[in-house]
Amino acid sequence: MNELTVQETATEQETSIEATGLGKVYWDGDRRLEILKNISLTVRKGEGIAILGPSGSGKTTLLNVLSGLDKPTGGRVALDGVFLDELDAARKARLINQRVGFVFQFYHLLSEFSALENVMLPALIGRPAQKKEAIRERAVSLLTRVGLKHRLTHFPTELSGGEQQRVAIARSLMNDPSILFCDEPTGNLDLDMGREIAELLRDLFRKEGKTVLIVTHDERIAKIADRVWNLVDRQWQS
């Protein structure tokens, strides 16, 4: 099988995400499971990329490896020019907290906290207590921006799926990350709400210059993206 590559020339100043020769293997007893095979890519700052592919093609694994949530079996990843494999655990965690935001299909909101508290959480990690009011103000501003100013004190169980996803997007932006990774962000939403979320994500890279990688089955996401990549049988398909 040919080992296909998505690679574009970019200067260091233009590059947001760069990966070379990524591979990921899991073992199930004696059975070797190759999830990713020789993936190379370059994403420019401010790009919106949609990654398509059938279930089981490795899309979520790729997102986890690129974002630093998981380690590749082979190859390297750099975020904003910093190679993740050159960082110890503490420095890597700090880089991810400061520069990376995550939006997941199932929201991952903490049920015991209000919408406002969920959004504040990423900024409270390692921050002095005296900055809490400034953090609260930013969280209110983000929830207002995604249309949820009237839901600040509501808990996740009191919110619709679309509202929960908007809280999750606001939370992902709390530390003003340069890169946003989204895993099926419209997968659990109806058509109208999915359209609203797609437009919200589009504004993040087209109007605000953030780099956004979106794993999706949603053709609406593909239509708003700057580029669309297909992951088939563990490799890029041109």
In DSSP notation, 70-116 reads S--SEEEEEETTEEGGGS-HHHHHHHHHHHEEEEETT----TTS-HH
What is the per-residue pLDDT for 13? Answer: 57
CB 79 within 8 A of CB 179: yes
State residue 48 phi and psi, 5-degree precision.
-110, 115
Cα–Cα distance, 51 to 136 (Å, whole number): 34
CA angle 42, 46, 49 (to 5 degrees): 55
Q: Using the Cα atoms of residue 81, residue 84, residue 86 and residue 89 in order, give the sign of their dihedral.
A: positive
**Measuring CA to CA, how many Å separate 204 from each of 6, 94, 137, 179?**
23, 23, 20, 10
Number of CB atoms found within 10 A of residue 77's CB: 21
Tens-level pLDDT at each residue, the chain (238 residues): 233 344 443 445 589 999 999 999 988 888 888 889 999 999 999 999 999 888 778 889 999 999 999 999 999 999 999 999 999 999 999 899 889 999 988 888 999 999 999 999 999 876 666 588 899 999 999 999 898 999 999 999 999 988 998 999 999 999 999 999 999 888 877 888 788 888 888 888 988 899 999 998 888 888 889 999 988 755 555 4
What is the per-residue pLDDT for 2? 31
Q: Which residues of 193-221 are buried (b: 16+ CB within 10 A; e: fewer)?
A: bbebbbebbbebbeeeebbbbbbbebebb
Per-residue confidence (pLDDT) for residue 11, from 0 to 100? 44
- List the structure tokens of 213: 């990688």
Identity at 211, one-letter amino acid code:
T
Residue 9: per-residue pLDDT: 37
- Enumerate domains of the chain plus CATH numbers: 46-72+86-237 (3.40.50.300)
Residue 183, beta-bridge partner list: 104, 215
